Structure formats: C-alpha cells, structure tokens
Amino acid sequence: MSVTPSPAAASPAPVPPRRSAWPWALAAGLALAGTLAGLVGGAWWAVQHMPARTEQVATQVSTPEVPLVLRTSGGLLEVASIRATERFSRRDTQSFWGIHLGETVTEVTVPAVYRYQLPLARQWPVQLEGGVVTVDAPAFAPSLPVAMDTTQMQTWGRNGWARFNQAESLAALQRSLSPQLAERAQSPHYRELATEAARRTVAEYVRTWLTTSGRGPVHEVRVRFPGEAQATAPVAAPAPPAGLD
C-alpha cells in the first residue's frame, strides 16, 4: 500500500543566503575619502604654486617696522657742511707658488656731503661786555652716515692677467664706502675745514638770539670751541667766484 505525503508534511524549500551590505558601504566610504583627499591636495597645490608676483607685491607694500622719531632735549644745530667728490680705490693681488697672477684694481667716484652739528644746550655760557659777546660753544660732530649721491656714482675696474674677480672686488669696495666716509668726516683735515663755517653759524645764531631778546647792541660775537685757548670772531666767508650768486 503506497502512501502519498501531504503538502503540509513536505520539507520547506531552501532560503538563499542574504548578502551583507557592508562591502558596498566600505567602498562608498573609500570613494568619498579619496574625493576629499583629492580636493584637499588640489587646494594645497594651488596655494603652493600661486604666482610669485602676488607675494612680491605684498612684500613691496608692507612696512617691516614703524619708524620712530626721537626728540632731544635741546635739538641739534647744523653748523657746517662740506661738499666733495670722493674717490676710493681697491687693489687686490694674488700669487700662486711664487707666480704673480696679476692685480685687480677697482675705483669708485661719488659726490658726498659732510654735515656737522652741535647740540643746543638749554643754557649757553655767554658773556656780554661793551657790545662784544663771548660764547663757549659745545663741540660739533659729523652727522653719520655721510650722505652720498649714488645716482652720480662712477665705477671703474680692471682684472689682473690671471684674475677674474673684478665684480667681487667692486662690490667689496662699495660696501666699504660708508665706513670710509665716516672716517674722513672725523679726520682733522675735514674738521679744520668745517671749524670756521661752524663758528660763523654759531655767531649768527647767538647774535639773532640776543637781538630778539633785547639784550642791547651786539658789535661782535666771539666763539670758542672746546680745546681752543681763546674765543675768536669768525673769519669772513670767502667770496663766491665771479658770475655766481
């Protein structure tokens, strides 16, 4: 006798396995991270490779520090100035195993203006007797650095027969101009040239001060600088050449 199983008694059909969604999420996350990294990298590259002209303009218009103006208690009086065209030269020789390699010679010619100043004290020792004024003035000193007109600078150079350092020698000479000008400004020769002009300036300053303050008629002003034995009246300035004002 055969028995046919009923549909309810039959075994259920197998269920296919359910696929996990995490590989897709991981792939999407990696793609998003790659996109963000690309954007950040592109922005960084753009900043690093911006045209140099933009940075140069910003550098030119910026001021690294604010200039300060210092005021002394009495101020300074410019008493003399000397204009001169100065010439500087530099010679550079070299030898190798007793063989003379030649001499490199460079020269610079530049107009310079030496200015001398003295401090204005709040009280000056002044003696007035019979219309003659005697003043003990403070020492004058050069104003440094010495002014030079670089637009009128002239240079010249010559290499030695086995030397090729003319440009370097000229650059070294130009760097030494300011110290050499300062040394010349303080030399006895230039100070002597400035002394009489300084004496005239101080005499005119004191005469104007006494006249405006009503201290009586002033016939002569004698000025004595430190180191001088006696006060002397200023020597008249030399007359300008004919045809010049």
Residue-wise pLDDT for 220-242, tens only, equals: 999 999 988 877 777 555 444 44
Tell me whether residue 2 is in a domain.
no
The amino acid at residue 151 is T
Tell me whether residue 34 is in a domain.
no
Tell me whether residue 235 is in a domain.
no
pLDDT of residue 244: 37
Tell me whether residue 176 is in a domain.
yes
Q: How many helices (H) and strands (E) does the chain have?
A: 5, 8
Tell me whether residue 58 is in a domain.
no
Domain count for the chain, please give it. 1
Tell me whether residue 240 is in a domain.
no
Percent of the chain scoring above 90 in pLDDT? 28
Tell me whether residue 88 is in a domain.
yes
Q: How far apart are CA 165 and CA 169, in angstroms?
A: 6
Which residue ranges of the chain lie beneath pLDDT 50? Answer: 1-3, 7-9, 43-73, 238-245
Tell me whether residue 64 is in a domain.
no
pLDDT of residue 59: 23
Residues spanned by the domain of 163: 76-224
